[in-house]
A = this chain, B = another copy of it.
Amino acid sequence: MAIKTVINAAGRRVPLKINGQSAVPFKGVGKHWPEGTKHSPPVPTCSDYPCDGNKVVRSLEEALRKCGLRNGMTISTHHHLRDGDLISNRIFELASAMGVKDLVWFPSASFPCNDPVINYLDDGTINRIEGSMNGPLGRYVSEGKMKGTAVLRSHGGRVQAIQDGEVKIDIAVLVAPSADSFGNARGTGGSSACGVIGYAKADSMYASKVIVVTDNLVDFPCFPMEIEGNYVDYVVVVDKIGVPEKIVSGTTQVTKSPDRLLIAELTASFLEKSGILKDGVTIQAGAGGTSLAIAVFVHEILKQKDWKAKFGFGGSTKYMINMLEEGQMNYILDAQAFDLDAVRSVEKNPNHIPYPVFNAYNYHSKGNLTSMMDIMILGATEIDLNFNGNVVTHSDGYLLHGIGGWQNCLHARNVIIPVPLFRDRIPVIVDQVTTLCGPGELIDVIITERGIAINPLRKDLIKSVKGSGLPVRTIKELKEEAERICGKPQKARFEEDIVAAIKWVDGTVIDVVRKIKTG
């Protein structure tokens, strides 16, 4: 039976049901008012927990059994161990051995190390993934091989979905670099330190059952309690939760590409000349090579002018740590540590503060952090003539990335997207994005190596750089230049089947990804 679809407010055809659950089509930015109340997990009682506070059980298998693992459950994990995560796959290996079917895996992100879950999608242990799909997992989904429909959410959208009960987590399996036997847990300490574990906060609060897995059991009380033991059912101690060198690369480096460096320099220059970089600025950049270069340039400007950023929001990197430690930034509020310097900084700098996405990014909250940020540096796989952005598919139509915090960050005052004009001779600026992840009205400036395009809605920004000598052009001019060099890109070809839904920050469906047409 075909699922009923409608055209949403962004002009995209979306289904009214996903995986049997009703779905609300995107209504426009800030136009959806949620009804009802937050999700309410079962009331527990101390009568069911050990008086001495010791919740350690012998193995992950035992913990899963005690949590009543069974067909159709939703299992959540977080991605703070990044490509070094040794536990997520193990959950499904155990579930598969136990003969459990049709699970929903609800990670905060997936990494190449998670490619083996394809086995458990194949054997029916997992029905679908609701979370980011990278590389082979994305290809698997794009080719229509996943039984259920993938649902992609931003980090904030994931928290919103948990809080609102759109996704009911049956069992959260939360790895922790340090934990005590009561389940209090943090991201520092031990041999698998990842800095902070704030992605797990909502999971711990709203899941019916919570398992903490650690390789570093510490004395009670484990502080700071990023996960509060009061929400935890079982603690599992294993030899290793992660591969340290893959948890944080330790080698995140500024780009060496001349084109990317030019983009970074242009970005810093734009920030300075437009006046949006100022004393007391609040700023967030990413961890890609270009972003890191921008951070270095921004740091230089702050030093020269004797300015101080009020705070930076992490994903934190050594370049942010430098700003903090050299006095050009008051605070780092941190959702994720990207490198070893960042991990060390969380441990030692009192002004480097764990700040969960629950507080920073949740749109169904009484305000959040992103709309308070002055400067937001983001990436994109495609930007179109209306400044709409895509971060999940490539122009060939394959689902290859997660959304991360990208949609949430679009709510910042000035959203700047530094991107190369083309990648592997495929233009980044296109007529219309293959997949719509963020509406153009929220994207302010596109900065490429061949010019800067400012959203016409931002008359103030256009005015601010008039006569500055910056290479300001229209987005149409940038697109045409890319096409002159690379030729007009071929449109991706799709079948009708919907393989993935893209949620907006408020839980509505902004677009879908369809099955790739092969042959």
A residues with CB within 8 A of B: 30-53, 55, 163-165, 182-183, 210, 219-221, 223, 225, 228-233, 310-311, 331, 333, 353, 355, 358-359, 362-369, 371-372, 411, 506
Contacts and interface: CB of A to CB of B under 8 A. Distances in A.
**Chain A at the B interface: SS class:** loop
B43 A366 contact: no
30 contacts: A30-B47, A31-B47, A32-B47, A33-B48, A35-B43, A37-B41, A38-B40, A43-B163, A43-B364, A44-B366, A45-B363, A46-B365, A46-B371, A48-B366, A49-B366, A53-B367, A53-B371, A53-B372, A55-B366, A55-B367, A183-B366, A221-B353, A223-B353, A228-B359, A230-B358, A230-B362, A230-B365, A231-B366, A232-B366, A233-B366
A22 to B, nearest CB: 16
Contacts of A233: 366
B47 A42 contact: no
A319 to B, nearest CB: 21
Contacts of A359: 225, 228-230
A366 B230 contact: yes
Nearest to A30: B47
Contacts of A51: 371-372, 411
Given A33-B48, A39-B40, A229-B359, 5 more contacts: A33-B45, A38-B41, A44-B365, A46-B371, A223-B353
Contacts of A225: 359
A51 B221 CA distance: 37
Given A43-B38, A221-B311, A372-B220, A49 B231 contact: no
A219 B282 CA distance: 13
B367 A50 contact: yes
A52 B372 contact: yes
Contacts of A165: 40
A228 B201 CA distance: 13
Contacts of A49: 366-367
A343 B210 CA distance: 35
Contacts of A48: 33, 366
A210 B366 CA distance: 10
Nearest to A408: B46
Nearest to A156: B46
A163 B367 CA distance: 23
Contact of A43 (B37, B52, B220, B353): B37
A358 B210 CA distance: 18
A37 B40 contact: yes
10 closest Cβ contacts across the A-B interface? Answer: A37-B40, A49-B367, A40-B40, A51-B371, A34-B43, A30-B47, A53-B372, A38-B40, A230-B365, A46-B363
Contacts of A311: 221
A36 B43 contact: yes
Q: By CB atoms of chain B within 10 A, which of A36, A55, A210, A366 has the most?
A: A366
A268 to B, nearest CB: 25
Q: By CB atoms of chain B within 10 A, which of A38, A50, A182, A363 has the most?
A: A38
A442 to B, nearest CB: 12
Nearest to A229: B367
Given A30-B47, A41-B37, A53-B372, A182 B367 contact: yes
